[in-house]
Structures are given as C-alpha cells and as structure tokens.
Amino acid sequence: MFLKISFGGGGEDFRKIVWIKWESIYTPKEEGGLGVRRMGAFNLSLIGKWCWRMLVDKEGLWYRVLKARYGEEGGRLKEGDSHCSAWWRSLTRIREGVGEGVGHWFDDNIRRLVGNGRDTSFWHDIWVGEIPLKLKFPHLFELSVDKECSVEDMRRVLGADDGRERVWRRRLLAWEEESVRECLVLLHNIVLQENVEDTWRWLLDPIHGYSAQGAYRFLTTSADVLDRSQIVDVWHQQIPSKVSVFVWRLFHNRLPTKDNLVRRQKRPVCLVVEVRKR
C-alpha cells in the first residue's frame, strides 16, 4: 500500500509552501519522523549484502562464476574493466568507499578473525590494527616478494633462521629494519590456532553478521541530538494512514493554520458561507 503525501511542490511558474523538510520525512518514526526510506542509502545497504557474501561464501557457484569472469587478487575479486555490468560497478564502488557521506563504510566495519591464518591475506586483509598492513607499512609491502601470502605463510617464514632473506626482494637498510621490528611488535601477541578456521566479523552486529537493515540504519543515522519531547506515537494499525500523518503534522505544527500562514507571510484563504432563508 502506498500513501501519497504532499508537503510542498509547485511548477515552473509558481511555488507552493513547503511545510516539512526532507530530513524530518526521512527520520524513523520512533525518532519523531515520518519513516520514509532514503532510496539511495537503502540501495547501498542491499548491494553491501553482496559484498558481504563475497567474503563469507566463496564456495558458491555464483562466486566461482564471478571469479572466472573478473579474476581474483588479494583474496578479493578484481574490479574488472569498463565493459563490466552496472551491477558489478556498483559493488566495486562500495568497496572503494562510496556511501552517504561516511567514507569507506563497508571496509571500516569488517574485521578478519584469525584462526589458523591460512585464509587471511597478510597484507590485504584488516586482521591486526585498524587498517591493512599494506597501508600501514607501504614501503615494506613494495619490497615483499610474495604480496599475496597468507598470515600462516608469513609467520612461518619470519620464524625461520633465514626467513627474512626470503621475504624481501633485497637486503633491507637500517631504517627499513626498524619498520620490520615495528611490524613484529604488532604480531607478537598473535597466536595461530591450528584447528580454528579464519572468519569474518561485521562490527555493527558481531553475532548475526551483516544485515541490510543494520547497514541502512548506520548509513542514515544522524549525529544530531534527538529531542524526545517532540516524539509522539501516532502510528497504529487501527488508525488510517492519512489520519496518522495529519496528527503527526499537527503535533509538529506544520498545518496551514491562519497563524502559520501569517508567520510565513502568506495571505490566509477566507471562506465565506452565505446562508439563505427559504
């Protein structure tokens, strides 16, 4: 069921009074708004579900088809060229940080939980700290021989007597050795568990994982302080939607009353009723 609501409008030659700002219309009902969805943010949250599935369901047939079509690098599917589908371009734009003014909203809310370290990319995944190690130590990443190595492989190589010589393309300088020591400090408390698989965690809901509803709430949450005194519960199933909207406007003082028209410098419309005697 769709409810047609008109709070303003007009045309090329005239303008009507705008009674409700869009922010109030988009605000959830439980926060005093009208609860109309932001279609852009809702679409992003739905596409983000596919980004999440690409991390946790790599054994599916659909993933293998995409892998054969676009290839894989760093444990993730490649972006593809200019001839890829519009759906795939939308997914890659989310991974690049497109959102409702919140930057890399998807990557900022995922973390890799390391078990045995076999399926976690040492350089590309966020598994220690807040950013991938390739961004924290870009120079070491450029010098590394195997940029696609797993956490288990890197720990095994670094633990060997001659391991460090096989990690880098050349002998490290003194200041580069200092960066290696800084990296080893981060890895000091990491203990690999042989019988535990690596998993992904969605920080907004660590128990149930990604949900479109939770992502939409994150994308549309405002930093403004909520005034609970303005919240009125007028949304009941027994009340027609038009009546609820009317009451909602009434409590927000957004009806075309004479007082509001005067304050907006609009001439109130006078209704003259002529009574004739028969």
Residues 180-205: pLDDT tens digits?
888 888 888 888 898 999 999 999 99
> Quick one: pLDDT at residue 226?
47
User: What integer pLDDT is reported at residue 49 of this predicted model?
Assistant: 93
Question: What is the Cα–Cα distance from 26 to 167, expressed in whole angstroms?
Answer: 53
- pLDDT 10s digit of each residue in the chain, 278 long? 344 455 555 555 666 666 677 777 777 777 777 778 888 889 989 999 999 999 999 888 989 999 999 888 767 788 877 788 888 888 888 876 655 556 688 888 999 999 999 989 999 888 988 888 999 999 999 999 988 889 998 888 776 555 566 788 888 888 988 988 888 888 888 888 989 999 999 999 999 999 999 999 898 876 554 455 555 567 776 778 788 777 777 777 777 776 767 776 665 554 444 545 55
The tokens describing 242, both together, are 């038009």
172: left (phi over 0), alpha (psi -120 to 50) or beta: beta
What pLDDT sits at residue 114?
93
R_g over Cα of the chain: 28
Contact yes or no for 163/157 (Cβ under 8 A)? yes
Amino acid at 186: L
Residues 142-164 pLDDT 10s = 999 988 889 998 888 776 555 56
Q: What tokens does 11 get?
A: 């045309």
**Amino acid at the residue 105:** W
> Which pLDDT score is estimated for 143?
92
Q: What integer pLDDT is reported at residue 97 of this predicted model?
A: 66
Per-residue confidence (pLDDT) for residue 224, from 0 to 100: 53
Which two three-digit tokens encode residue 262? 């005067």
Q: pLDDT value at position 3? A: 47
Tokens standing for residue 217: 């709430």
Mean per-residue pLDDT over the chain, rounded: 79
Alpha helices in 102-205 (DSSP H): 133-136, 138-143, 151-159, 163-167, 174-187
**In the chain, % of residues over pLDDT 90:** 24
CA-CA distance, 61 to 154, in Å (whole number)? 30
223 vs 88: CA distance, rounded Å? 31
pTM score, two decimals? 0.70
